[in-house]
Structure 1
Amino acid sequence: MNGLPSIGAGGGIQQILALRQQIISRNDLLREIHTTQAANQPSATEGAGGGFANSLHSALNGVSAVQQRSEDLSVAYEKGEVTDVAKVMLARQEAGVAFEATLQVRNKLLSAYQDIMRMGV
C-alpha cells in the first residue's frame, strides 16, 4: 500500500534489523567523513588557553572566506570569466546564510551577556 514493509511478519523484523544496520553504517561513514574534514582543518584549541576565542575566531574567518569567495565569483561573472550563473547565485546565497547565522550567534551571545549582567549577586 504505502511501500513500507509489514512489521507483523517474521521477515519484517529481519528487514527492520537490516534497515537499522544500514542506518548505523551510514552514520559511521558520515562520522568518518566529519572527523577526516575536522582533521584537515587547523585545531581550534591551539594556543595558550584560547578554546572559545579561537573557535569564534576560526568561525568568523570561515564566514569571511565564504563571503570573499562569493565576491570573487561575482566579479568573475561580471568580467565574463565565469559563465555558470547558478554557481554564482549559490555562492551568494551561501554567503548570505553564513552571515545571517553569524548575526544570530552574535545576537544570542549579546543577549546572554546582558542576562548575566542583570543577575543580582
Structure 2
Amino acid sequence: MSEVGRIGFGVADVMALRSQVLARSTALREVRAASETGGSVAAGAAQPPGAGFADTLHKALKQVSAVQAHSSQMQVAYERGQVTDVAQVMLARQEAGVAFEATLQVRNKLLNAYQDIMRMGG
C-alpha cells in the first residue's frame, strides 16, 4: 500500500511539473508573438517592398543560430550545476531542434524552387 502512495505522489509531482512546463511554454509563445509583431511592423516600414528577401532570410538564420547558442549555453549551465530545472534545458533543446528542422525545410523548398526555375529556362 505504501508503494501505491508513492506512485500517487509521483504522479502528482509529474502533473505539477507538466503544468509548469505548459505555463512557461505559453508564456514563451506570448513573448515571441509580441516580439514578432513589433519587429515585423518596424522592419516593414523601414524597407521598401520586395527588397527584403535576403535580409529576412539572413535575420531568420541569425535567430536560429541564437536559439541554438542559447540551447548550448543552457546545456553547459546544467552540466555545471548552475541551472537545476531540467525542463528549461529540455525546452531549449526542443526549441533549437524545431528551429533547425524548420530551417532545413525552408532550404529544401528554396532548392526545389531554384531547380524548377532552372528547368524552365532550358
* TM-score of the pair, normalised by structure 2: 0.63
Q: Which has more helix, going by share of residues?
A: 2
**What percent of counterpart residues are identical?**
63
Larger relative contact order, structure 1 or 2 (CA cutoff 8 Å, min sep 6): 2
- Distance of aligned partners of 1:109 and 1:90 in 2 relative to their CA distance in 1, 3 Å threshold: same
8 Å CA contact 1:44–1:54 kept in 2: the answer is no
Provide the secondary structure at the position in 1 that maps to 2:82.
coil
RMSD: 2.6
- Distance of aligned partners of 1:40 and 1:76 in 2 relative to their CA distance in 1, 3 Å threshold: same
- Aligned position for 1:115: 116
- 5+ long unaligned stretches in structure 2: 1-31
Asked whether 1:91 is paired with 2:98, we answer no
Provide the secondary structure at the position in 2 that maps to 1:119.
helix
Q: CA deviation at 1:93?
A: 0.5
- CA displacement 1:73-96 (0-9 Å, x = unmatched): 000000000000011011001000
Aligned length: 89
Q: CA deviation at 1:43?
A: 1.7
- 5+ long unaligned stretches in structure 1: 1-32
Q: For the pair shown, which has the larger CA radius of gyration, 1 or 2? A: 1
Provide the secondary structure at the position in 2 that maps to 1:82.
coil
